[in-house]
Homo-oligomer: A and B are copies of this chain.
Amino acid sequence: MTVADRRVAALDLMMELVLLLGGDMTQSLARDGLTVSRAHLLWELRHRGPSTQRVLADALGVSARTITGLVDGLATTGFVTREPHPTDRRATLVTFTAHGAQITETMERGQRDLAQLLFAGIPADRFGHFTEVLGEVMTRLRAQIPPGEVL
């Protein structure tokens, strides 16, 4: 196998990772009544606190219209509420319900569990090399993406 072939094989492996990790996430979220996009919104909310829809649109890199739909769905299913903005009457603050906050914590725990499952028992030096190369690859990939894309 040539060097080029080994590189393509590594990319194939990363692509398979994308598919498997994506599929696994989709299914596990569906069990909680969530989609990937809605979970992404909850994730941002977790890290930012109550936020306007405009802020969420920029954070997720989607249109304002899309956020309206996502918040509609999350409000109907009881994960968030729309609260009036204290000073700007045009804006709403998307805010967790108790259920939404609890589910988000559960997601965070699930993430820790998955990380243990995937990496536990790998010798520290090998794990270190792995994350270093992965970091380098990510740096190259970020440089490749037209700036101002996909938060």
> Residues on A close to B: CB < 8 A?
4, 6-11, 13-24, 27, 111-112, 114-120, 122, 126-127, 129-138, 140-142, 144-145, 149-150
Contacts and interface: CB of A to CB of B under 8 A. Distances in A.
Nearest to A140: B118
Nearest to A10: B131
B142 A10 contact: no
A135 B13 contact: yes
Contacts of A116: 4, 7
A129 B130 contact: yes
A76 to B, nearest CB: 26
**Interface on chain A toward B: helix, strand, loop, or mixed SS?**
helix
A134 B6 contact: no
B133 A130 contact: yes
A34 to B, nearest CB: 16
B129 A23 contact: no
Contact of A117 (B20, B21, B140): B140
